[in-house]
Amino acid sequence: MPATLLWAEGMEGRPVEISFEPASPDWKAATQLVPTDAAMAFTAPDLQYLMDSPTELSDFDLREWTIGEGDSEQTIRLAIHHDGTPEDADTYAEMAKNVVDEQIKLFGEAPLFDYGTYTFIADYLPYVSGDGMEHRNSTIISNTKGLYEAEFGQLSTLSHEFIHAWNVERLRPAELEPFDFTKANPTTTLWFAEGFTSYYAPLTILRAGEEDVDGYLKTLSRNLSYVVNGAGRDLRSPMAMSLRAPFVDAATAIDPDNNANTFVSYHPYGAMIGLALDLELRGKFEGISLDDYMRRLWQKFGKNETPYTHEDLKVTLAEVTGDEAFAGDFFANYIETGALPDYGPLLAQAGLELGPANPGKAWIGGSFEADGPVVKIASNTVRRTPLYEAGLDRGDEIARIGRFDINSTGDVDTALSRHEPGDTVDVAYVSRTGDGTVSVTLAEDPALKVTRKEAGDEELSVAEKRFREDWLGVERNEGDAG
């Protein structure tokens, strides 16, 4: 709506009536706007709600189901615009239903949707861009791949956005109240609002039985590796990263930036803080987990829509644990500064092992792109990587590594495969200042991987098995779903 209609200052509180004229009689409307007796006529209580209401007019597939009973019964709608089959839509709707149920279980109850309905507007078509955005009683989610083609992987975005029905849309940071369409709305708590949502999105898919343990650990490994190796943590805490939102979250600029060295996204950063807090709570406090913390915050601030502050989050953690010192230390160490806990012992409680994803593999850092036979560094090199330490940067052409001429990105891998971490190789390059050769000391690939202990033929202890079952919601320790 903000891309279609003008924002009128001073008219925020005025009620709205809006009608659509579809291009085809087969088209329907998918929206959180309030329906009327006419199929294409809707209302909104005010201009704010209208602007918050994405609407699709198309011949989409519709699947519906109800949650709750009696006076608390509400309708969930899934409007899917895609090139797949009706059976694809049925399969996806059942998966979505299971995830929705699991998230309701997490928070203890569903939000009270304003008009008794929540709508997923899902576009899975080759000409759309992939993204997701939460709204008060709906979300719009999109992907360039079809459901079958993506093996229903779009469920991860659906899971993330529906958690926002609690966390952000009703459990809101104080700085976002009231939302102002005329300026940026910065808050220091996106590590919680987006990050903890990102933690629970794949976890609730696993708990719902729509993912297996190994699939979940693959996602966890990717996020943990990104955060642990993020150079930006040296410069900014999760709170400070949250304030970068107006410059990094869907913002567009033509100028190059150095975010690779200065920014760690608050989505995975906050997710890994959520992981650490969940595992610490489960290890230190009998019968207490991050689930309890989220439910307490929902009851205190979300259900009655009382905006929370940074201090409220800290105080509530002290209430849940009964340990003010623990809450203060956790916030001071991992949220107000850029430190990270030692994840190895935390994961070991669940019989999980943290280690290098590619042990012994020589690594030069950076990414590469080919323009014909010319191979260039594709993005800013990152502090503490071999390329950065050697003074090479984005746009530099790599002509030779060691004894190998570099004419394709595959040649880079071939050259590195002949070396070990710690080896020093000569790299011939062409930069803005001319040709040159520099000595580069290779490192070990810093990527991390989380694996099940029993995958290495070790047996889980009774305590490890119980911890994993309580945390992940699975009863079997194999990689099988369920």
CA dist 406 and 408 (Å) reads 6
Q: Is the dihedral of CA 469, 470, 474, 479 positive or negative?
A: negative
- Mean pLDDT over 255-266 rounds to 92
Cβ contacts of 385 within 8 Å, gap of 6 or more: 364, 365, 366, 443
Q: Which of 7-16, 87-96, 320-329, 357-366 has the lowest mean pLDDT?
A: 7-16
Task: Check residues 475 and 146 and name the one with the higher pLDDT.
Answer: 146
Please write the tens of the pLDDT for every residue from 393-429.
999 999 999 999 999 999 999 999 999 999 999 999 9
Whether 249 shows a pLDDT value over 60: the answer reads yes
Given a contact cutoff of 8 angstroms between Cβ atoms, the answer to whether 429 and 438 are in contact is yes
Q: Measure Cα distances from 296 to 301, 325, 415, 463 in Å.
A: 8, 19, 54, 27
Task: Check residues 478 and 246 and name the one with the higher pLDDT.
Answer: 246
CA dist 276 and 349 (Å) reads 12
Whether 477 shows a pLDDT value over 60: the answer reads no
CA dist 148 and 135 (Å) reads 27
CA dist 311 and 296 (Å) reads 15
Confidence at residue 256, expressed as pLDDT on a 0 to 100 scale: 82
Given a contact cutoff of 8 angstroms between Cβ atoms, the answer to whether 36 and 79 are in contact is no
Tell me the whole-structure pTM to 2 decimals. 0.95
What's the 3-state SS for 372-440?
A: CCEEEECCCCCCCCHHHHCCCCCCCEEEEECCEECCCHHHHHHHHHCCCCCCEEEEEEEECCEEEEEEE
Please write the tens of the pLDDT for every residue from 347-378.
999 999 999 999 999 999 999 999 999 999 99
Confidence at residue 479, expressed as pLDDT on a 0 to 100 scale: 44
Q: What angle do CA 334, 335, 337 make, to 5 degrees?
A: 70
Domain ranges of the chain: 16-165, 193-357+461-472, 362-444
Confidence at residue 457, expressed as pLDDT on a 0 to 100 scale: 83
CA dist 65 and 371 (Å) reads 51
Confidence at residue 394, expressed as pLDDT on a 0 to 100 scale: 95
- Mean pLDDT over 24-32 rounds to 97
CA dist 82 and 154 (Å) reads 12
Beta-carbon neighbour count of residue 109 at 10 Å?
A: 15
* Strand spans (E) along 284-403: 352-356, 362-363, 368-371, 374-377, 397-401
Region label for 260, one of left (φ > 0), alpha (ψ between -120 and 50) or beta (otherwise): alpha
CA dist 111 and 51 (Å) reads 21
Confidence at residue 398, expressed as pLDDT on a 0 to 100 scale: 98
The yes or no reply on domain 362-444 and CATH 2.30.42.10 is: yes
Q: Measure Cα distances from 132 to 120, 144, 197, 228, 360 in Å.
A: 10, 12, 13, 26, 38
Beta-strand relationship, 138-143 and 362-363: unpaired
Q: Residue 303's pLDDT band (boundaries 50, 70, 90)?
A: very high
CA dist 196 and 290 (Å) reads 10
Confidence at residue 469, expressed as pLDDT on a 0 to 100 scale: 97
Given a contact cutoff of 8 angstroms between Cβ atoms, the answer to whether 448 and 221 are in contact is yes
Say which CATH topology domain 193-357+461-472 has.
Neutral Protease; domain 2 (1.10.390)
CA dist 168 and 280 (Å) reads 24
DSSP summary character for residue 454:
G
DSSP summary character for residue 222:
H
Task: Check residues 475 and 270 and name the one with the higher pLDDT.
Answer: 270
The yes or no reply on domain 16-165 and CATH 3.30.2010.30 is: yes
Please write the tens of the pLDDT for every residue from 305-314.
999 999 999 9
Please write the tens of the pLDDT for every residue from 42-58.
999 999 999 999 999 99
Percent of the chain residues topping a pLDDT of 70:
98
Whether 263 shows a pLDDT value over 50: the answer reads yes
CA dist 67 and 105 (Å) reads 12
Q: Residue 475's pLDDT band (boundaries 50, 70, 90)?
A: low
Percent of the chain residues topping a pLDDT of 90:
91
Tokens in use for 242? 């949250």
Please write the tens of the pLDDT for every residue from 234-245.
999 999 999 999
Confidence at residue 254, expressed as pLDDT on a 0 to 100 scale: 72
Length of the chain, please? Answer: 482
Q: What is the pLDDT of the chain when averaged over all its residues?
A: 95
Task: Check residues 181 and 361 and name the one with the higher pLDDT.
Answer: 361
3-state secondary structure of 65: strand
Q: Measure Cα distances from 437 to 196, 370, 377, 411 in Å.
A: 46, 20, 15, 18
CA dist 170 and 305 (Å) reads 5
Farthest-apart Cα atoms in the chain, separation: 76
HSE of 85 in the Cβ direction (CA atoms, 13 Å)? 5
CA dist 204 and 212 (Å) reads 11
CA dist 365 and 354 (Å) reads 21
HSE of 163 in the Cβ direction (CA atoms, 13 Å)? 26
Whether 84 shows a pLDDT value over 60: the answer reads yes
Q: Which of 80-84, 384-388, 454-458 has the lowest mean pLDDT?
A: 454-458
Q: Residue 182's pLDDT band (boundaries 50, 70, 90)?
A: confident
3-state secondary structure of 162: helix
